[in-house]
Amino acid sequence: MTIPFTPWPAAFAERYRAKGYWTGDPLTDVIDRHRGAAAETTAILCGERRFRYADLQCLSVRLAAAFRARGLRPGDTALVRLPNRAEFYLVFFALLRCGVVPVNALNSHGVYELTAYARQIEPALAVLSAGDPSLAALMGQTVGPERLLLLGAPADDGIGGFAWADGGALAEDAPGAAPAADPSGVAFFQLSGGSTGTPKLIPRTHDDYLYSVRRSVEICGLDGSCRFLCALPAPHNFTLSSPGALGVFHAGGTVVMAGDPSPATCFPLIARHRVTWVALVPPMLSVWLEAADGAEDLSSLEVVQVGGAKLSPAVAERVPERLGCRLQQVFGMAEGLVNYTRLDDDPWTVVNTQGRPMSPDDEIRILDAAGHPVPPGAVGELWTRGPYTFRGYYKADAHNARVFDAEGFYCSGDLVSLAPGGNLVVCGRNKDQINRGGEKIDAQEVEDLLAGHPAVGHAAVVAIPDALMGERSCAFVIAPPGTKPSELRRFLRGQGLADFKLPDRFVFVRDLPKTAVGKVDKQTLRERARQDNVLMETTAS
């Protein structure tokens, strides 16, 4: 069985192979390519545990055999939700080895998000932390306890922290050799920030994703001396491949796991392990800059990458002085296109732009509302296609028809302008989406859930500017007097919504403004929120 997806047209696929972008290698090549003495190099440091490349190879093969012994076959799907631990990568590589296609959910995702993913992929396996028994029980009902694997405390053998929910042993015997991966087929699903009310899944193939990783390594100049701090969630596209952990593995470097991105957690790890690279979102960079005085020894840091949301030039300018390292801006998307400022760019470019495309075959168009190209320096909507930009969301034909044109260009929804030298400047979003410190919130998703509260007559969620987070969310709600924000937050949590999606602020109104065609006028609401001039205002409590 194979996972259906929208392939690149044959002419494009032939071109990308001829140019050496697509090599026909599986994603597991990023660890398997290290043989002999290179296999003894440290690949992951996780707490007090050290994993060599040889360990990643051996343990992921063992875990893949355990999956196959439980009846998992190529073309099956899996739902994975694990914290920032080495086991995340062991599971990822094990699933790739046996042809099982995972969705790697964020550890912040709750019942609502996991249920939505499960509906789309109908997983044959779920891998979760044992620390959340209610979520484990739900997934056990979805896949059956014999297909539910729980991660507990680490054990000496590297995979002993895993146990099947039905109490069975983690048997590793599976008949026959593991099937070879189809490099042109779907390797895993990335998560979209989305703006359609249902979390969308992005099929990524071995060929396209491995090219993205290799090219990122080339752009960033990584080699075996790199020590990368995985501080953001490990499944994030940024943390995984830009160049992220997969890029570090490809280069033969070391990934240092951090449980969270706070200075209290990360600064001691930087000092202890002589970390050289880290990837952050803008709000956390600001926190790091404020905490840098009198901190642990951060002198090993060479590069701080910042992505996920636009970075303020004023904050960008502080990086070399406060952290003593270079800044690299990264503007990418789980759907494909990744832009980097180069490490030899002039200071103005690094501070004021979000980079330029990394592949010679990345094609971009910046178009106005009528679909016409805008002149350099003018703001327009970003459309793109290329050797690692997907051609369609999974099982979303109607949405794909709206966001792809007849030539296969994808409308990202980002508003950008083109700076001298070909770099992009991110100016905002043209989709109904809130970028809260790099976490994308679909306004419709929150509105739909709020509408289920018996006291809510109507709700509209918009973004409001925020100096630290870039944007926060504000919910305008029609509800009876006396309705409390805390009551609505409890209700949303009860629906399983992730905490980062809960509105930061509630504003109670008698009515919502409408456009000429009768739709909620969100532009007016955004302006009202900015001016703080509303009726019956109640701030978050």
pLDDT of residue 299: 95
Domain final residue pick, 181, 207, 227:
181
- The domain in which residue 118 lies consists of 1-9+47-181
Domain final residue pick, 181, 214, 237:
181
C-alpha span between 22 and 208 (Å, rounded): 6
Q: Per the domain annotation, does 133 fall within a domain?
A: yes
- What residue spans of 252-281 are helical by DSSP H? 263-273
What CATH number did the domain enclosing 150 receive? 3.40.50.980
Q: What percent of the chain has pLDDT over 90?
A: 70
Q: Put residue 482 in one of left, alpha, beta given phi > 0 → left and psi -120 to 50 → alpha.
A: left
Summarize the confidence of residues 331-338 as an average pLDDT.
Answer: 96
Query: Residue 10 pLDDT > 90, yes or no?
Result: yes
Distance set, CA 88 to CA 56, 104, 189, 407 (Å):
11, 9, 15, 37
Q: Per the domain annotation, does 286 fall within a domain?
A: no
Summarize the confidence of residues 492-511 as an average pLDDT.
Answer: 92
pLDDT of residue 209: 98
Q: What is the CA radius of gyration of the chain?
A: 23
C-alpha span between 189 and 507 (Å, rounded): 37
Q: Quick one: pLDDT band at residue 541, thresholds 50, 70, 90?
A: very low
Residues sharing a CB contact under 8 Å with residue 31, sequence separation 6 or more, in sequence order? 43, 53, 56, 57, 60, 93, 249
Q: Per the domain annotation, does 3 fall within a domain?
A: yes
Query: Residue 196 pLDDT > 70, yes or no?
Result: no
Q: Per the domain annotation, does 143 fall within a domain?
A: yes
Q: Per the domain annotation, does 228 fall within a domain?
A: no
Q: 150 φ, ψ to 5°?
A: -115, 135
Residues sharing a CB contact under 8 Å with residue 20, sequence separation 6 or more, in sequence order? none
pLDDT of residue 99: 96
Query: Residue 431 pLDDT > 70, yes or no?
Result: no
What CATH number did the domain enclosing 439 receive? 3.30.300.30
pTM: 0.85
Question: Lowest mean pLDDT: which of 40-49, 173-182, 446-455, 495-504?
Answer: 173-182
Q: Per the domain annotation, does 148 fall within a domain?
A: yes
**E strands along 220-325, which residues?**
227-230, 254-257, 277-280, 303-306
Summarize the confidence of residues 493-500 as an average pLDDT.
Answer: 91
Report which DSSP code applies to 514.
B
Question: Lowest mean pLDDT: which of 172-181, 242-251, 439-448, 480-489?
Answer: 172-181
Domain final residue pick, 161, 181, 201:
181
Summarize the confidence of residues 164-179 as an average pLDDT.
Answer: 82
pLDDT, mean over the chain: 91
Contact 450, 479 (CB under 8 A): no
Q: Per the domain annotation, does 387 fall within a domain?
A: no
Q: Quick one: pLDDT band at residue 110, thresholds 50, 70, 90?
A: confident
What's the structural domain count of the chain? Answer: 2
> Which DSSP helix (H) or strand (E) runs through 458?
strand 458-466
> Which DSSP helix (H) or strand (E) runs through 93?
helix 86-97
Q: Per the domain annotation, does 259 fall within a domain?
A: no
pLDDT of residue 468: 84
